[in-house]
Amino acid sequence: MSRIRQSSGKLLVRTFSVTFYSPQTFSYASEGWDQLVYALKGVVTVRSARDAWVLPAQRALWVPNGLEAHIEIPGPVSLRSLYLVQGLVPSLPRECSVVNVSPLLRELILETMRLGMLHGRLAPQRNLARVLVDQLRSIPSVPLQLPMPSEPRAYRAATLMLADPASGDVADLAKRAGASVRTLERLFRAETSMPLAAWRRRMRVLNALRLLAAGESVTRVALEVGYDSTSAFVAMFRRELGVTPARYFA
């Protein structure tokens, strides 16, 4: 028996729509509901105790029940959120992940927003919830997560890199963090499951996404995140996300 049929007399999905016009930061926690946060416009950063995610426009963040997070709104942002009864989509992970939104899923989200809710006792809404769940089961995640190390020296190094994405001297970074380069490499592999160089590339990509979404040029963004040439930055961006910056935002 499907979870939707089991919940046929209950509220399956509720909605929330909000637009921010100025920078804001606030905390978030959801109890009893899984959430899909769809960024209609703008870019959002979400931070938990151990990880950070960047949510660009036309992507969505899957937030399982019980997660506590801090939301950073850098500027004008329009968000459309679906709250799904916990466990309605059991195949999705019980941790945050950024997912691509297909044209069909986008229309399903917007139609659900128009209705305001999907209730199990109403056959048309129950059927729409079934299609929505089918789409959510197959959505691909994208590598927009940055795991944060907890070991003090590695955490210090991570915060230094986040404060200055363009910094490139690893030896100086290690010295300021109170560790050798070899120790820092070992700590990042152990704490984040990523080599230090890969972690830094991911960090630069996430910073670049925020700047690009704010309307900065590719050339300026390349310099801001530590690349001497636009072509080198574009090549790195393509290796990380599979497409060029222009293609990504198209």
| CATH number reported for the structural domain that contains residue 26 in this entry | 2.60.120.810
* pLDDT for position 250: 66
* CATH number of the structural domain spanning residue 217: 1.10.10.60
CB–CB of 78/42 below 8 Å? yes
Question: Does residue 159 share a domain with residue 82?
Answer: no
Residues 6+ apart with CB under 8 A from 83: 13, 14, 15, 16, 30, 33, 34, 35
Average pLDDT, the chain: 86
Which of 120, 142, 164 terminates a domain? The answer is 142
Question: Does residue 173 share a domain with residue 136?
Answer: no
* pLDDT for position 1: 40
Share of the chain above pLDDT 70, in %: 95
Its domain, for residue 78, covers 3-142
Which of 110, 142, 174 terminates a domain? The answer is 142
Question: Does residue 244 share a domain with residue 180?
Answer: yes
Question: Does residue 120 share a domain with residue 26?
Answer: yes
Question: Does residue 98 share a domain with residue 204?
Answer: no
Question: Does residue 118 share a domain with residue 189?
Answer: no
**DSSP one-letter code for 172:** H
Question: Does residue 197 share a domain with residue 125?
Answer: no
Q: Which residues, listed in sequence order, are joined to residue 117 by a DSSP beta bridge?
A: 14
Question: Does residue 162 share a domain with residue 123?
Answer: no
User: For the chain, what is the domain count?
Assistant: 2
Which of 111, 142, 173 terminates a domain? The answer is 142
* pLDDT for position 61: 86
Specify burial of residue 188 (Cβ count, 10 A radius: 0-12, 13-18, 19+). Answer: buried
Weakly modelled stretches of the chain, pLDDT under 70: 1-9, 30, 250
Give the CA angle between residues 41, 47, 49 to the nearest 5°.
165
